Amino acid sequence: MVRIKYIIIAVLVVIFGIWGIWAAVHFFQSEEKKVKKQFHLLSKWTSKETGENTFAMAQKVKNIGKLFAEHCELKANVISFTGRYTTEEISSYAARARFPFSNLSLQFYDFNVAFPEEGSAKVTLTAKLTGRTATGEDVDETHELECALKKIENKWLFSYLEVVEVLKK
């Protein structure tokens, strides 16, 4: 009987321990992790699986817009997409850009996160876009990105995004 009591206590301690670690990781994230999380969300919502339904697509596109500040500056000479855009414009551009693909994957590597001042973050990273168009053409693009994020209402939002020209033709 005493033994069972100890086992129950041990199990409870383990459960509370795991829950405590999860809570600590979840609620006390460092600012760097919060910034990186925005990129993971961007990657998740930009990516597309074969046979994605219209509802999922609309939800993802809407969510992409939520990651950006109200007026975000984009500089992407490789796709002729340069200027200041609103979240709605970014969402509609994302919808148009995703449409021709049957599957799409956006992955980020080599994060270099810096906080030049409070409430703003500068991130340099490598973005790799792979996918296949509906016509069967493979796409494999890799670019270096320079991004700036601003902390607005306790959320890190993209305010500037530039595609760096590594090789100048």
Partner 1 sequence: MLKNRYAKVWKHIWLPILCNIKVNSLQWNQPARPPQYKSMVSPGLNMTDGNKKIRQFFFPSLTFKFLIRASLVALFAYLFFGHLCTPLLIKGRSMEPTYRDGSINFCWKLRYIFSEPKKYDVVAVRFAGNKVMLLKRVIAVAGERVEFRNGKLFVDGKEMNEPYVHYPCHWNLPPRQVEKDCVYVVGDNRNMPIENHHFGQAPMKRIIGGPLW
Asked if residue 46 lies in contact with residue 104, where contact means CB atoms within 8 angstroms, the answer is: yes
Cβ neighbours of 69 (radius 10 Å): 19
Minimum CB distance to partner 1 smaller for 10 or for 79: 79
Minimum CB distance to partner 1 smaller for 86 or for 124: 124
Contact between 135 and partner 1 by CB under 8 A: the answer reads no
Question: In the 8-state DSSP scheme, what is residue 6?
Answer: H
Sheet holding 155-164, edge to edge: 81-86, 68-76, 155-164, 138-152, 120-133, 101-117
Span interacting with partner 1, options 1-9, 33-41, 62-70, 109-117, rule CB under 8 A? 109-117
Binding mask 69-108 for partner 1 (x = CB under 8 A): ----------------------------------------
Minimum CB distance to partner 1 smaller for 49 or for 137: 137
CB-based contacts of 107, cutoff 8 Å, min separation 6:
43, 127, 128, 130
Contact between 32 and partner 1 by CB under 8 A: the answer reads no
Contacts with partner 1 by CB under 8 A lie at 109-112, 124-126, 128, 140, 142-145, 166-169
